[in-house]
Amino acid sequence: MPSTVPAIHLKDVKKRFGSLDVLCGINLEVEMGEVVCVLGPSGSGKSTLLRCIAYLEDDYEGRIYLEGDLLGRAEHNGQLKRVEGAALRKVQLKVGMVFQQFNLWPHKTALGNIIEALILVKKMAKNEAQEIGEELLAKVGLSEKCKEYPSRLSGGQQQRVAIARALAMRPQIMLFDEVTSALDPELVDEVLHVMRQLAEEGMTMLVVTHELGFASRVADRVVFMDQGVVVEEGSPEKILKNPNKLRTREFLSLMAHEKF
C-alpha cells in the first residue's frame, strides 16, 4: 500500500524578520512523488518557505513535518522544544536544496564538489563517494566535466553540478529555489531537462519558479503566494489558465506581458 503520509506537511508556519511578517500562517501539503510549483511576486515569501523546510531558517513558528517526522522540534507536555544533533539531522537530511546561485566551491572540481559532503557528513570512503559522484555527473549529463573547476563551466553546467551535489545525499525531497533565474536564456533548458527527468522518476519536488511553461508541463499542482500567504492552489490548468483570485490573474497577466 502506498503511504498516506505527506512528504511535506506545513501547519500554520509563520516567520518574521524583525517587524516584517514574511510567512503568515502557511498550511500546505505535498504528497509523496508530487511536483508542486510555487509562483508569486518578489517578496511573497517563496524562498523563505523553502529555507524553513530545509531548516536553513530555524526561527519560525508552527510545525513542519517531513514524511511524518517533525522537523527541528520535539513535543514535550504540549510544548515544542528545539532539537539538535542526530535527531535534527535524521529529519533534515530527507531534503536536498538547490539555490538560485550555484554556491560551488571554486577550489574543487565538479566531482570534488559532489563528494565533499559524502566524505565529511556521511563518513563515506573516498572511492565509494567517487563512484556515486561519477554516477550523478552522468545522470545530469556531465560525465566529461568531472575534473573541471567551476570557473571552466557554464552557468547551466554549474547548476547541474549543484543538482548532482544535492542528490548525492540521497534526499527523498528536492527543493528548487529559482534555479534558472541566474542563467542566460539559452542555458535554461538544460537545467529544466534534468528537473523534468527527476520528476519522471518520481522525486518529490517543491519548485519555486517563474518558468510558467515548466509549471504547466511538469507540475501536479501550482501554488500562488503573495504577501506571505497562499492565495490559491490547484492544477496547472486551473491556476495558470483560469484562476479564481484577482491577485493571481494580475500576476499572470504581468508575467505574460514581461515575456514580450
Expressed in angstroms, the distance from the first to the final Cα of the chain is: 48
What's the grid cell of residue 49? Answer: 518557505
Full strand arrangement of the beta sheet holding 20-30: 20-30, 8-17, 61-66, 69-70
Q: For residue 215, report the phi and psi dihedrals to the nearest 5 degrees.
A: -60, -40
Q: What is the pLDDT of residue 129?
A: 97
What are the C-alpha distances in Å from 188 to residues 84, 115, 154, 157?
38, 25, 11, 10
Give pLDDT tens digits for 220-242.
Answer: 999 999 999 999 999 999 999 99
Q: Given pLDDT bands bounded at 50, 70 and 90, which one contains residue 260?
A: very low
Instruction: Pick the range with the lowest mean pLDDT from 36-45, 69-78, 148-157.
Output: 69-78
Give pLDDT tens digits for 170-206.
Answer: 999 999 999 999 899 889 999 999 999 999 999 999 9
Q: What is the pLDDT of residue 194?
A: 96
Average pLDDT over residues 124-140: 97
Instruction: Pick the range with the lowest mean pLDDT from 75-79, 203-207, 216-220.
Output: 75-79
